[in-house]
Structure 1
């Protein structure tokens, strides 16, 4: 049988065998440059590692020195407390305490700034007072009933850069400025002869008559036993040594458990 199938595809010729002594060309390599870059990279790594090691050792030595200094200072403070010191040693202890007070002051100031940032406003550190009325169990001699000026319990009150008088009725201003003043007096009894009134008054140095700053009233039904509260609040400019107090027409009508008086400096 005759094959009549023909194709136009011609296979490629076989490769030519390599000549004797022929080598395939290799890419050019700059050996000195590679060696130089390798040495520089190694030196850079050594310098970097050495630098980190040096900084670590230096920081560790500084921390250790600071720790040793702190321990020495604490030991000196302990010696100041526990041992009987001569005059020179006590002088050194006093100097050491002054340094610690300065550090404490800086820490407190930093804390106040942190609180200011957290609260969104300045931290209040000015003159302030919040007084509570003298209770009956502390008023052994009934001093509260002997005067129309309300008396305050210093042990259960807040006093900051404001002084309470010896009679426990007046607050004396130490720093001049604008003050917010408030008071609240609760009455538990009624009297047909006097009104249930409270007022805040101020005593100006070298002036005999006090000045009334604020006043308020409340009323009670004489046939029932209930309470009424009179409140006051205002802003005033006060000078140094001026005295502020709360007075009523009759202190025996007052419920001492619900009376307060206070102020704080605005600026």
Structure 2
């Protein structure tokens, strides 16, 4: 054997092993596959992250546009439906306001016994009700219409005594303006008197702005002022 510690001669090659028919193949180091570098890993990570961000941005953009479009569609449909809704709402408001236009007048009790003469009844404003500004009170006996339309008008006059020749009359007078000539539009009569007699009249009347209504009778002294049966009322339809 050669002592390698005392000489510089290279050792002899190893003898071939037994049962070895194929010589080992030596692959050069330069041809071996190299591991992936850190730069490639960073590049791939950047690409994946960028794709994720783009996907999230695209989803958010589509979601926002879809929500905005739905809101616009709802607003458009509401704007198309709004006129009809507003019209219906206005109809109900007008109807509700029209029912608040009313009057119920109570006859005024005279301080002294009235003389037997014809005339229009005077109203007690402490116990009467009427809706301003649609209806106004004028000159003790008249109601002035400020809102035109169809009105249900009723009148009741209660008499405490009769007369041999004068009919017990309940007449509703109408005039176009304050200076117009009164014209009867409704009348009712009582023919017999036992204790009390009430003459009632009612009708649907079309009234214009400025028209006036009052109640007239043949003899103011025959009316029962102690009772609440003498009244003039109306309300709009």
The TM-score with structure 1 as length reference comes to 0.48
CA distance in 2, matches of 1:194, 1:184: 18
Residues 170-212 of structure 1, C-alpha deviations (whole Å, 9 max, x = no match): 1011111111100111111111121011111101128642111
Q: Are 1:260 and 2:231 an aligned pair? A: yes
Match for residue 174 of structure 1 among 146, 157, 174: 146
- Structure-2 separation of matches of 1:227 and 1:174: 35
Greater C-alpha Rg: 2
Superposed, 1:1-267 pairs within 5 Å as 122=96, 125-135=99-109, 139-140=110-111, 148-161=119-132, 162-166=135-139, 168-205=140-177, 208-221=180-193, 224=194, 226-256=195-225, 257=227, 258-266=229-237
Q: Distance in 1 between matches of 2:142 and 2:126?
A: 15
Checking the alignment, whether the CA contact within 8 Å between 1:220 and 1:227 is kept in structure 2 is no
- TM-score in terms of structure 2 length: 0.53
Check 1:264–1:145 CA distance in 2 against 1; reply closer, same or farther (3 A cut): farther
5+ residue gaps, structure 1, are: 1-112
The answer to whether the Cα contact below 8 Å between 2:117 and 2:221 also exists between their aligned partners in 1 is no
Between the two proteins, the alignment pairs up a number of residues equal to 141
Aligned to 1:92: none
**1:91-135 superposed Cα distances (whole Å, 9 cap, x missing partner):** xxxxxxxxxxxxxxxxxxxxxx9xx9xxxx957653210011112
Partner of residue 68, structure 1: none
SS of equivalent residue, structure 2 residue 158: strand
Specify whether residues 147 and 196 from structure 1 end up closer, same or farther in structure 2 by C-alpha distance, changes over 3 A only: closer
* 2:118–2:220 CA contact under 8 A, matched in 1: yes
Q: Point out the structure with the larger helix share.
A: 1
Q: Secondary structure at the match of 1:230?
A: strand
Bigger relative contact order, structure 1 or 2 (CA pairs below 8 A, ≥6 apart): 2
Distance 1:154-1:247 versus aligned 2 partners, 3 A rule: same
Aligned to 1:134, the other structure's residue is in SS state coil
C-alpha separation in 2, matches of 1:123 and 1:173: 15
- Over 4 Å off, 4+ runs: 121-125, 141-147
Structure 2: tracts of 5 or more residues without a match: 1-88
